[in-house]
Structure 1
Amino acid sequence: MKPTIKDVANAANVSIATVSRILNKQAGYSQTTKEHVMGVIAELGYHPNAIARGLVSKKTKTLGVLLPNVSNMFSSEVLDGIEQAAHENEYSVIICNTDRNGRRTLDYLKVLGEKKVDGLIFISEALTSEYYQAIQHLNIPFVLVSSMSYKYQVPYIKVDDKHASYQAVTYLIEKGHKDIALISGDIDDVLAGIPRVEGYCQALRDHRIEVRQELITYGDFGFESGKECMTRLIQTDQPFSAVFSTSEEMALGAMSVAHQNKINIPEDISFVGYDNTRYAEMSIPPLTTVAQPLKQMGNKAVEMILTMLETGKKAQSNIMPHSIVERESVKSRTK
């Protein structure tokens, strides 16, 4: 039979209330008593019941995470950072894959409320009025990751997508490229679609290079749409020496089409991706890319939630640094 808190109290010759206060880090006991009780707990192999502790502390030590696609490498690396930080702080994580489905998202928010999660992390999806009202009803701290809202003053963590894209295209221009195609995510995506297209266009204009709409294609950030975009670019018969893709999955899809069409990378066409997941290192050739600190963003999200739980104050938003990681997919061209 598993030992109970009563067994610990009897063996330590203290009250159940004292054991409970020690486990929940409340005041009312000496350091000697604490060390004695913790020794008895270790000796008996007692493990506190999380639900019972939650009733005392009014905390479940659980965080909810909502994200649109749990299977891609972007999500995997952000989740890695979240789970690492949560584990270090003795928190558990409930992961909800929304698939960008509004009804499913609202259903998950209801479930997380029933589970009494202490905080919520909302990843890579626009915060609609419906979502905001549902989260407000939970009355818990929450943070946006790779997202932000102008309408609602919610703490967020993200990179400056427009600036990051601007630097990626400028990098290609400095390597001697002028005919630069763009493979973008959803044309209506206000989070990562529109800002990255704006950065691409601004970089071209600032270097007095014409923005050619026939060299801009749109997909859904996935591998298959990257293949479709590259196929369309090839079929235009418009010359281009480089491709900037606003996601690495799309870049890999485009590179596979280049290979099928006997286009050598980077000798014939150079490629730059976006994110710096493990996909970039695994591609052939290894992909030069815009690096987002994805794991650190996950770490920081948990840190912000815990700070808000401790202080009761709203956390400061964070614009995280980005960089260009050079590998082997870009070749300099003679100017």
Structure 2
Amino acid sequence: MNPTIKDVALKANVSIATVSRVLNNLTGYSDQTRLKVNRAIQELGYQPNAIARGLINKRTQTIGVMFPDVSSAFSYDLLQGIDKFAHDHNYSVMVCNTDQNGIRTLKYLQLLREKQVDGIIFSSGVLKKEYYDVLDSMNIPVVLVSTQTDFANVPYVKVDDYQAVYDSVSYLISKGHSKIAMISGTEGDPIAGTPRVEGYLKALEDHGLPFESRYLVYGDFSFQDGCTGMETLLEQAPEVTAVFAASDEAAIGALSTVTRLGMNVPGDFSIMGYDDIRMAQMVSPPLTTVRQPLFDIGRIASEKLITMIETGEVVQSAIIAHSIVERQTVRNLT
């Protein structure tokens, strides 16, 4: 017969309530008592019943995380930060791959409702009103990552995309580049597409450089669209000396294309990315990029969500600092 919480209490010589408080990381006991309870749990081989605990504290100790592409390096780094904080605070994480599809997003929201998750982290997409209405009816907190919204009770954690790209293009200009192209994300995307293009355009304007429409190509932040975008630029704007890509995956695609065609980076073209995913330092040459600290962003989002779950109060949004990471793909022309 499996040991029960009562067995643990008897062996540790404490009350059942004290064992429950230790299991749920609540206060009201000494370090010595915590050690006694944990020793009893280990010796008995006691496994807490998540369903029973949920009935008692009205929680499942589970959070849902929604990504448009769970296989991307961007999502992976975010998830590491989310999961680390959640795990350290005795929460489990349920990951959903929405595939930027409204129908799939609604289906996953229904699944998370059925699983009675305590809160949701929503990443990288627009929080449409139809999604918000479902979340509101679930009466659980939600935190946005790498996106934002005007809904007052939905905090977000992200970098300033506009400023990050403005600083990146200004960095290329400081290196003597005046013919700078951009491989953007999705055209019209209000989250990471349009703000990054606006940062690019404003940096050119403030430094007295004209904008050439053929210097701007659109994609979807992917490696393949980085390849395609670079091919387009080589065909329609061969005079370009530097390319800024709106994601590291797209930048690595551009780098791959230039190398495949027998040209050199940074000798023939300078390339700069956005994100600082792990792969950025693994490619050859290592990629110069603007870093948004994805692990930290995920960790902070997880912390904010769990705080909202446990206090019932809405927390403040956070804009996280970005930084330029200099490696070996930008040539100094000055």
Q: Output the TM-score relative to the length of structure 1.
A: 0.93
Deviations 1:123-175 (A, max 9, x none): 11110001100111111111000000135541000000000000000000010
Q: Determine the C-alpha separation between the residues in 2 that align with 1:151 and 1:12.
A: 48
1:72-91 superposed matches below 5 A: 72-91=72-91
How far is 1:309 from its partner?
2.1
Q: Determine the C-alpha separation between the residues in 1 that align with 2:270 and 2:72.
A: 24
**Partner residue in 1 for 2:322:** 322
Task: Give the 3 Å change call, closer, same or farther, for CA 236–45 of structure 1 in structure 2.
Answer: same
Is 1:124 the equivalent of 2:124?
yes
> What's the secondary structure of 1:324's corresponding residue?
strand
1:137-216 superposed matches below 5 A: 137-216=137-216
How far is 1:68 from its partner?
0.3
**Partner residue in 1 for 2:229:** 229
Q: Determine the C-alpha separation between the residues in 1 that align with 2:56 and 2:312.
A: 19
Deviations 1:100-136 (A, max 9, x none): 1111111111111111111110011110001100111
**Partner residue in 2 for 1:51:** 51
Task: Give the 3 Å change call, closer, same or farther, for CA 35–213 of structure 1 in structure 2.
Answer: closer
Contact 1:5 1:19 in 2 (8 A): yes
Q: Determine the C-alpha separation between the residues in 2 that align with 1:183 and 1:69.
A: 20
Name the aligned partner's letter for residue 223 of structure 2.
Answer: F
How far is 1:260 from its partner?
2.0
Contact 1:179 1:240 in 2 (8 A): yes
How far is 1:59 from its partner?
1.1
Name the aligned partner's letter for residue 4 of structure 1.
Answer: T
Task: Give the 3 Å change call, closer, same or farther, for CA 12–158 of structure 1 in structure 2.
Answer: closer
Contact 2:153 2:314 in 1 (8 A): no
Is 1:302 the equivalent of 2:287?
no
**Partner residue in 2 for 1:292:** 292
Q: Determine the C-alpha separation between the residues in 2 that align with 1:123 and 1:140.
A: 16
Task: Give the 3 Å change call, closer, same or farther, for CA 283–3 of structure 1 in structure 2.
Answer: same
Task: Give the 3 Å change call, closer, same or farther, for CA 48–183 of structure 1 in structure 2.
Answer: same
Q: Determine the C-alpha separation between the residues in 2 that align with 1:212 and 1:90.
A: 53
How far is 1:12 from its partner?
5.9
Contact 1:24 1:57 in 2 (8 A): no
**Partner residue in 1 for 2:220:** 220
Task: Give the 3 Å change call, closer, same or farther, for CA 292–12 of structure 1 in structure 2.
Answer: closer
Name the aligned partner's letter for residue 257 of structure 1.
Answer: T
Q: Determine the C-alpha separation between the residues in 2 that align with 1:260 and 1:141.
A: 48
Contact 1:215 1:238 in 2 (8 A): no
1:232-251 superposed matches below 5 A: 232-251=232-251
Name the aligned partner's letter for residue 209 of structure 2.
Answer: I
Name the aligned partner's letter for residue 146 of structure 1.
Answer: S
Name the aligned partner's letter for residue 211 of structure 2.
Answer: V
Contact 1:61 1:117 in 2 (8 A): yes
Is 1:68 the equivalent of 2:80?
no
- Structure 2, unaligned stretches of length 5 or more? none
Task: Give the 3 Å change call, closer, same or farther, for CA 201–54 of structure 1 in structure 2.
Answer: same
How far is 1:310 from its partner?
2.6
- Structure 1, unaligned stretches of length 5 or more? none
Q: Determine the C-alpha separation between the residues in 2 that align with 1:106 and 1:266.
A: 45
Q: Determine the C-alpha separation between the residues in 2 that align with 1:223 and 1:30.
A: 53
Higher mean displacement: 20-29 or 204-213: 20-29
Contact 1:183 1:229 in 2 (8 A): yes
Name the aligned partner's letter for residue 52 of structure 1.
Answer: A
Q: Determine the C-alpha separation between the residues in 2 that align with 1:143 and 1:32.
A: 36
How far is 1:32 from its partner?
8.2
How far is 1:29 from its partner?
8.6
Higher mean displacement: 268-277 or 39-48: 39-48
Contact 2:247 2:273 in 1 (8 A): yes
Is 1:4 the equivalent of 2:4?
yes
How far is 1:43 from its partner?
2.5
Higher mean displacement: 4-13 or 227-236: 4-13
How far is 1:44 from its partner?
1.4
Q: Determine the C-alpha separation between the residues in 2 that align with 1:245 and 1:156.
A: 24
